Each structure stands twice: as C-alpha cells, then as structure tokens.
Chain A
Amino acid sequence: GESVGLHLPTLSVQEGDNSIINCAYSNSASDYFIWYKQESGKGPQFIIDIRSNMDKRQGQRVTVLLNKTVKHLSLQIAATQPGDSAVYFCAEKKAAGNKLTFGGGTRVLVKP
C-alpha cells in the first residue's frame, strides 16, 4: 500500500519498549480529543479518546494524557509491538459543531 506520509516526524522504538507520542493542539475551546492510528493503505482507526474534564485515560496498552494548561496531548503505548508500526494522529473537536480537526502525524517504527 502507499505510504501515509514520507516526511513525518519518526519515532523508532525497540519491540517491547514503551512509546510516547506527543501532540500540541491549538484551540483552547476544544473539549474532546482522539488518537488515531493509520496503517499504510488504510484509513485512520480510533485508538482512544479523552474529554477535557479528564487528564488521563487508560485503555488496553495505551494511555492518553491531557495537559490543558499547555494544550498538550500524549499517547503512551506500553510494550510496543511490531503491529503498532503506523502513523499516529491526534484530533480535536469542539463541543459545538462537532467538527474534527486533525493535527500532524508521527510515524512509529518498531524495531524487532
């Protein structure tokens, strides 16, 4: 399949290590944030979301942290696996309008 992006920031991580992907968002009015995973040749896939009244949310092997003071979002992946290799995007949504705005992506490469 085609590459999602050739000039994205890249995070190389050893299999089994933890990964941290960061995202800065721009709109202080946003109240809902989502992390998506996009594999080559596929559309974005929902990973985890968080509302602005929370600062942390955990899923299966993933944790999202939200720092509203500095408008920063991070995704932590525990025990990174080869199947986690993909491009990861954060997205924000305002309460009104429900329009989803995507940020720039980060490519994660898992080394065996």
Chain B
Amino acid sequence: EAGVAQSPRYKIIEKRQSVAFWCNPISGHATLYWYQQILGQGPKLLIQFQNNGVVDDSQLPKDRFSAERLKGVDSTLKIQPAKLEDSAVYLCASSLSPSNEQFFGPGTRLTVL
C-alpha cells in the first residue's frame, strides 16, 4: 500500500515570499491533517479536513496560511507571505476517519531566509 506522498521534500525561500506544499493521502482516507514541526519539538496540528470540509483550523495562522482539499483527496498548504519563524517541517497525515490511526508523510522541510 502506498503511503502519504508529499512534495517538495525541501524548499528554501526568502521572507515575504510565497510557498505551497502538496499532499496526496493514502487512497480511501477521508481525514487529512497538516502539522507544523519546528526543530526540536513535536508536531503541532495546523488544520484537519474531513473529506473536503475543514474540521479544525484553530491553530492555523489564517492571516498568512491557507489550505484546501477541493475534491476531498489531495491537499495544498500555502504560506503567503512567509516569515522567518515559519521555518519548520510541514507534515501531512491521513486516516480512514478521525478515530483511526494517522499515517504520516515524510514532510516538507521549509527554510525561510
């Protein structure tokens, strides 16, 4: 079974630039999550989708971060404009339902200079 796919794996940008990350969850998984993992810390949930609807985005900095899952499968996370403190690994995870095990992708390492 293919796992969660993410791209790009690495991205370096300058502050105030924009960046987008892509996630393809495991086939059939209705729930999709985006996490931010700052170096030395555990992942922090940014947003959770159930199919194409947002379940929880309480920790998403909405002034600069946005995410969508238009067709209920793939998802994109965008940052515009980026700040230095956005440097982190952005992890995508998926699960069959919110109560099932989450499977994580390899993450996208973002460096903001």
Q: List chain A positions with a Cβ less than 8 A from chain B.
A: 2-8, 41-46, 89, 91, 97-105
Contacts and interface: CB of A to CB of B under 8 A. Distances in A.
13 contacts: A4-B37, A4-B89, A6-B40, A42-B104, A42-B107, A43-B4, A43-B93, A44-B91, A44-B104, A98-B98, A99-B45, A105-B40, A105-B41
Interface residues of B, number: 24
B109 A102 contact: no
B68 to A, nearest CB: 20
A2 B42 contact: no
A91 B44 CA distance: 11
Contacts of A4: 37, 39, 89
Chief secondary structure at chain B's binding surface: loop
Interface of B: 4, 37, 39-45, 48, 56, 89, 91, 93, 98-99, 101-107, 109
A97 B56 contact: yes
A37 B43 CA distance: 12
Contacts, number: 54
B42 A91 contact: yes
B112 to A, nearest CB: 15
A99 B93 contact: no
Contact of B101 (A3, A46, A104): A46
A5 B39 contact: yes
A8 B40 contact: yes
A62 B86 CA distance: 35
Nearest to B31: A98
B104 A100 contact: no
B24 to A, nearest CB: 14
Nearest to A97: B56
Given A7-B40, A46-B102, A102-B41, 17 more contacts: A2-B109, A4-B37, A4-B89, A5-B40, A5-B41, A6-B40, A42-B106, A43-B104, A43-B107, A46-B101, A89-B42, A98-B98, A99-B45, A99-B56, A100-B45, A104-B42, A105-B41
